[in-house]
């Protein structure tokens, strides 16, 4: 039904485009046109499609909730909770669609009939209203075409609004992220105190699972302490940076200051391949090759190493991050003005002394910015940790033991079927919002540092 309606509107818009253009050619024979003929077509088409489609979208968004309130009105006197009402509504919908398999009560049957009736009314009302709007807006537009009003300006203003609406898309995504995270997280914090979440040291959500009924509040208090996860996240990120910063920075410096054209031309893109490899591939590599390798070396040295050690995950993550640091620091160092180098050489400094004592301090803000970006990347990295590090949240600072991270726990909790309304599921959103805040914080600082740095040398 909806598909037919939308196709109809779009077809009508196309026809009105050709109609408008033809009309313009007719007008042309008697009076001077105000714009190119195609604008007459665009004008009609825009008036035809835009109002009808906007109404259509708004209707489709609001219709279900309005129907729902109508249906559930009959149940208000039964003192039901929100979840029970939701369940009844799902049953009514299933019954109306003919897919319901439970036992059918009279009341339910009545509601289903009402639902079908309401849906029918809503559908015919929708079609009627949209047809009315189409007729109204087309006749309005056709009148101004006949009067030979200015045609180009309205079309361009309309286009500009379309462009503006598109640019709001990015803002909408952000709002969507914040809402989806906040909504569930707030419900989580109603069940678990925010203090217990931020400062608790035991993360073991599986133990709160109770079949039917509410979990024990005493258990809840002790199951959602996120400290081990925060610690694990930053610990693995720290290991990754220990690998990535020296290698990335040194290769960035070498590429920008020492390497000849040939080396630079080939080495830079080859290193950047490392950034293009999907993270799940790194995860597989870490779990299958690096993990056992680390374990073997550790065992040979007489150390006890978990086969899912933080070291393996962190090291592989570090390799993934090398190109971020190397190309960003390469850019930053290249941006340092040549006269600083020339001044240093003129004083008799060698190249490495120039790099260490002149260029590096000058480029430091930019380098710090790029490192912060890389840290935010490491904190948000998921697949490597899921596959190569442990899933049990240990509070440890031993790189040879397994730890877990925020991202890994989100995956562990949400993989498979989720039940909304369960504190375990909601805890994933609480973790998500803390991850979002941490990375946002790092990014804002990094971007402003890099921006200030750019302005300094421009």
Partner 1 sequence: MLKNIGKNMNNFKKNFLKKRYNAERRFQWYGKIAIGLALTFLAVFMFQIFSKGYSAFQKTWIVTEVHYDKELLLIDAESPSKDDLENADYYDVAYKAMTSLDPGLPEEEDRQLIQMVSYKYETEVKDLLLKNPDFLGKIVPIKLTASDDIDQVHKGNYPRDIPEKNRRVNDYQLQIYDMLNERGDILSEFNISFFTNPDSREAELAGIASSFMGTVFSILVCLAFSFPVAVLAAIYLEEFAPKNKFTDFIEVNINNLAAVPSIVFGLLGLGILLAVFNLPRSTPLVGGITLSLMTLPTIIIAARASLKAVPPSIREAALAMGASNMQTTMHHTVPLSMPGTLSGTIIGLAQALGETAPLILIGMVAFVNTIPGTPVDPAASLPVQIYIWSESAERGFVEKVSACIMVLLAFLILMNLAAQIVRHKFEKKWS
Closest distance to partner 1 from the beta carbon of 304 (Å):
24
Give least dist CB 385 to partner 1, A.
10
Residues 203, 393 contacting (CB under 8 angstroms): yes
CA distance 12 to 205: 56
Give the span between the Cα atoms of 171 and 163, in whole angstroms: 14
Question: d(Cα 244, Cα 226) in Å, to the nearest integer?
Answer: 27
**Closer residue to partner 1, CB minimum distance, 239 or 435:** 435
Cβ atoms of 339 and 265 within 8 Å: the answer is no
Measured from the CB atom, is 3 or 171 closer to partner 1? 171
**Rounded CA gap, 384 and 291, in Å?**
11
Q: Least distance (Å) from partner 1 to the CB of residue 131? A: 26
Nearest approach, Cβ of 145 to partner 1 (angstroms)? 19
- The span from the CA of 408 to the CA of 286, in Å, is 15
Q: Compute the least distance from the CB of residue 256 to partner 1, in Å.
A: 10
DSSP 32-101: --SS-HHHHHHHHHHHHHHHHHHHHHHHHHHHHHHHHHHHHGGGGGG---HHHHHHHHHHHHHHHHT---
Query: Nearer Cβ to partner 1, position 128 or 297?
Result: 297
What the block records as the tokens of 72 is 């559930």
User: Cβ closer to partner 1: 37 or 219?
Assistant: 37
Q: Contact at 8 Å (CB) between 389 and 309? A: yes
Q: Which residue, 103 or 419, is less far from partner 1 as judged by CB?
A: 419
CB of 286 to partner 1, least distance (A): 10
Minimum CB distance to partner 1 smaller for 138 or for 248: 248
Choice between 142 and 318, CB closer to partner 1:
318
Report the distance separating Cα 27 and Cα 20, nearest Å.
Answer: 10
- Minimal distance in Å, beta carbon 259 to partner 1? 8
**Which whole-number Å values give the CA distances from 142 to 43, 52, 133, in the listed order?**
9, 16, 14
Q: What is the DSSP letter of 224?
A: B
User: Whole-number minimum distance, CB 217 to partner 1, in Å?
Assistant: 25
Residue 361 Cβ vs partner 1, minimum distance, rounded to whole Å:
16
Nearest residue to 237 (alpha-carbon basis) of 410, 414, 437, 438: 438
Beta carbons of 401 and 309 less than 8 angstroms apart:
yes
Residue 133 or 255: which CB sits closer to partner 1? 255
CB within 8 Å of 324: residues ≥ 6 apart = 244, 248, 275, 370, 373, 374, 377
Any idea which residue has 């374990």 for tokens? 295
Q: Which is nearer to partner 1, 142 or 251 (CB)?
A: 251
3-class DSSP state of 403: coil
Smallest distance, partner 1 to C-beta of residue 436, A: 5
| Residues 104, 106, 108, 109, CA torsion sign | positive
- Residue 88 vs 322, nearer CB to partner 1: 322
CB of 263 to partner 1, least distance (A): 8
**C-beta closer to partner 1: residue 396 or 439:** 439
Q: Dihedral of CA 390/395/398/399: which sign?
A: positive
Question: From CA 439, how far away is CA 405, in angstroms rounded?
Answer: 14
Helices (H) and strands (E) in the chain, counts: 18, 0
CB 294 within 8 A of CB 316: no
């Amino acid at each position: 039904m909806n598909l037919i309606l939308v196709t109809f509107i779009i077809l009508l818009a196309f026809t009105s485009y050709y109609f408008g253009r033809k009309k313009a050619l007719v007008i042309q024979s008697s009076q001077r046109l105000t714009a190119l003929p195609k604008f007459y077509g665009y004008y009609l088409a825009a008036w035809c499609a835009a109002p009808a489609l906007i109404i259509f979208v708004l209707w489709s968004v609001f219709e279900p909730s309005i129907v729902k309130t109508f249906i559930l009105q009959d149940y208000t006197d039964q003192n039901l909770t929100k979840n029970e009402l939701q369940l009844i509504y799902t049953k009514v919908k299933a019954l109306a669609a003919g897919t319901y398999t439970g036992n059918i009560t009279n009341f339910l049957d009545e509601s289903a009939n009402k639902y079908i009736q309401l849906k029918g009314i809503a559908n015919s009302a929708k079609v009627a209203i949209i047809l009315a709007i189409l007729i109204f807006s087309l006749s309005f537009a056709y009148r101004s075409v006949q009067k030979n009003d200015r045609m180009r300006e309205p079309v361009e203003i309309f286009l500009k609004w379309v462009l503006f609406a598109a640019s709001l898309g990015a803002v909408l995504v952000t709002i969507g992220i914040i809402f989806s995270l906040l909504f569930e997280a707030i419900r989580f914090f109603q069940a678990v105190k925010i203090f217990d979440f931020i400062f608790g040291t035991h993360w073991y959500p599986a133990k709160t699972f109770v079949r039917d009924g509410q979990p024990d509040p005493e258990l809840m208090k002790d199951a959602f302490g996120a400290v081990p996860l925060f610690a694990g996240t930053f610990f693995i990120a720290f290991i990754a940076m220990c690998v990535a910063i020296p290698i990335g920075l040194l290769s960035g410096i070498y590429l920008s200051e020492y390497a000849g054209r040939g080396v630079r031309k080939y080495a830079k893109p080859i290193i950047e391949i490392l950034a293009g490899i999907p993270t799940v591939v790194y995860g597989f590599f870490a779990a299958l090759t690096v993990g056992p390798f680390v374990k073997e070396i550790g065992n040979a040295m007489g150390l006890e190493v978990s086969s899912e050690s933080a070291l393996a995950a962190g090291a592989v993550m570090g390799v993934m991050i090398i190109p971020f640091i190397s190309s960003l620091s390469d850019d930053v160092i290249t941006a340092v003005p040549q006269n600083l180098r020339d001044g240093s050489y003129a004083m008799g400094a060698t190249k490495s002394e120039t790099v260490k004592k002149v260029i590096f301090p000058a480029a430091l803000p930019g380098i710090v910015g790029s490192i912060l970006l890389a840290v935010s990347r490491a904190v948000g990295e998921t697949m490597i940790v899921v596959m190569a590090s442990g899933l049990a949240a240990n509070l440890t600072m031993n790189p040879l033991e397994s730890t877990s991270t925020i991202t890994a726990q989100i995956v562990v909790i949400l993989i498979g079927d989720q039940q909304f309304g369960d504190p375990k599921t909601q805890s994933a959103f609480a973790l998500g919002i803390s991850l979002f805040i941490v990375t946002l914080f790092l990014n804002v600082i990094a971007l402003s540092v890099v921006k200030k740095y750019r302005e300094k040398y421009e």
